Amino acid sequence: MSGPAGAAARIAVVGSCNMDIVAFAPHLPAPGETVTGQRLLQVPGGKGANQAVAAARAGGDVVMIGAVGDDAFGGLVRASLQEAGVNVSGLRVGPQPTGTAHITVDSAGSNTIVVIPGANAAVVDLTDADRDAIGNSDVLLLQLELPQAVVTAAAAVAHRAGTTVLLTPAPVRPLPAELLALIDLLVPNEHEASQLTGRADAQDALDSLLAQVPAVVVTLGAAGCSYRRRAGAPIRVGAPAVPVVDTTAAGDTFTGALAVALAEGKTVPGALRWATSAAGLSVQHEGAATSMPRREQIDAFAQGLESAVGAGR
Ligand code: RIB
């Protein structure tokens, strides 16, 4: 999976770009309830753009393929990607407005999200340049906020080229066999894993998903993550205990960092620990792209955790 020695991990992302409109409230509203919130925040998000920013800040050489609208939100999302060092040559400007995500965050940092796809829905095919970018990458990151046909087309290009395909199955929906056959590593959270399999227990869900894809990592929030390869032993990584402000995009931060770590040739346990450290840093800050750590911050935090574990032995 890794490119030339010493070169940055090459990551392609085919995914969504949104503006996140975030209401911070004491608790998430129940159906029919009106809650008075404390603050409103507007920050760049979208699972695709988030993973691109996370991977770039983690040290990857990242290209983003997606779409924004010809509007102020689109300009802000583009600027956020560029500021992180993401190559935006694959970012189309569609006639529809930029996608938006309407997020409520409660006092424990948990959230609910409603996404209006906007321009994301217009990404229906790949250009020759997109195919080249995917084929020249070590890892392709996919999620399910673009039309399924283009997600499958991108996975097929990667599969043919030997580019490793990671899929975040969110927003969760049944995955067709045609797409599953192209996935190297599925990265659901525990809720998505349960919804995909009908198994309430995350470990049972993970084992069941292994019948469909060769490797799975289930993110478990404050409990870390659980990984397994077909015919391999399970690997469990705990999460650091940190003050949680906002969990939005913690999974995207984990996935972006994981892609970089795997492409750089870190061992799977090492890559999982590093990605978990990145997510542990992101939950301590508000917003999506605004919360993602830089490589040196991840290194320092991961190192501190290793030392603490070593001192506790
Ligand atoms: O994964 C978090 C993201 O989901 C948010 O940034 C929001 O835009 C939605 O796509």
Cβ neighbors of 225 (< 8 A, separation 6 or more) are 217, 218, 219, 236, 237, 239, 254, 272, 275, 276
The pLDDT value recorded for residue 186 is 98
| CA gap 155, 184 in Å, rounded | 10
**Residue 284 is assigned to a structural domain of this protein:** yes
Predicted pLDDT of residue 286: 93
Identify which of 115, 167, 253, 291 to mutate to test ligand 1's pocket (most ligand atoms within 8 A of the CB). Answer: 115
Amino acid letter, 222? A
Cα(97)–Cα(56) distance, integer angstroms: 26
Residues 222 and 110 sit within 8 Å (Cβ to Cβ): no
Structure token pair of residue 219: 């993110």
**Cα–Cα distance between 15 and 148 in angstroms, integer?**
11
Please tell me the distance from the alpha carbon of residue 101 to that of residue 18, in angstroms, as a whole number.
6
List the chain pLDDT tens, one digit each, 313 residues. 555 567 899 999 999 999 999 999 999 999 999 999 999 999 999 999 999 999 999 999 999 999 999 999 999 999 999 999 999 999 999 899 999 999 999 999 899 999 999 999 999 999 999 999 999 999 999 999 999 999 999 999 999 999 999 999 999 999 999 999 999 999 999 999 999 999 999 999 999 999 999 999 999 999 999 999 998 999 999 999 999 999 999 999 999 999 999 999 999 999 999 999 999 999 999 999 899 999 999 999 998 877 766 555 4
Note whether residue 3 is domain-resident: no
Residue 94, beta-bridge partner list: 69
> Is 19 touching ligand 1 by the criterion CB < 6 Å?
no
As a dihedral over the C-alpha atoms of residue 220, residue 223, residue 224, residue 230, rounded to 10 degrees, the angle is -60
Q: How many CB atoms lie within 10 A of CB 39?
A: 10
- Output the pLDDT for position 127: 98
- Position in ligand 1 atom list of the atom nearest CA 251: 1
Separation of CA 248 and ligand 1 centre (Å): 7
Domain-embedded: residue 1: no
What does the pLDDT read at residue 126? 98
Ligand 1 contact, 279 CB (< 6 A): no
Residue 173 maps to a domain: yes
Angle, helices 72-83 vs 47-57, to 10°: value is 20
Give the per-residue pLDDT at 306: 76
The answer to whether residue 277 is domain-embedded is yes
Instruction: Give the active site residue among 138, 201, 252, 299.
Output: 252
Cα 143 to ligand 1 centre (Å): 11
pLDDT at residue 305 in the model? 78
In the prediction, which pLDDT does 187 show? 98
Structure tokens at 203: 């470990």
- 129: three-class secondary structure by DSSP: helix
**Alpha-carbon span 54 to 109, nearest angstrom:** 19
Establish whether residue 50 lines the binding site of ligand 1, counting it when its CB lies within 6 angstroms of any ligand atom: yes
| Ligand 1 pocket residue status of 47, Cβ below 6 Å | yes
Residue nearest ligand 1's atom 10 by CA: 46
The answer to whether 252 is a known catalytic residue is: yes
**Greatest CA separation found in the chain?**
59
- Determine, yes or no, domain membership for 265: yes
Q: What is the whole-number distance in angstroms between the Cα of residue 103 and the centre of ligand 1?
A: 8
Outline where DSSP puts E strands in the chain: 10-14, 18-24, 39-45, 61-69, 87-94, 99-105, 111-116, 139-142, 164-167, 185-186, 215-219, 225-229, 235-237
Q: Quote the domain boundaries for residue 205.
A: 10-28+38-308
Domain count for the chain = 1
Residues 6+ apart with CB under 8 A from 311: none
65 lies in some domain: yes
250 lines ligand 1 (CB under 6 A): no
11 in contact with ligand 1, CB cutoff 6 A: no
Model pLDDT, residue 123: 98
Find the CATH number of the domain harbouring 137: 3.40.1190.20
Atom of ligand 1 nearest to the CA of 289: 6
Q: Whose CA is nearest to atom 7 of ligand 1?
A: 46
Q: Could you tell me if the CB of 20 is within 6 A of ligand 1?
A: yes
List the residue whose alpha carbon is closest to atom 2 of ligand 1: 249
CA angle 60, 62, 64 (to 5 degrees): 155
Q: Tell me the residue length of the chain.
A: 313
CB 235 within 8 A of CB 217: no
Q: Is the CB of 104 under 6 A from ligand 1?
A: no
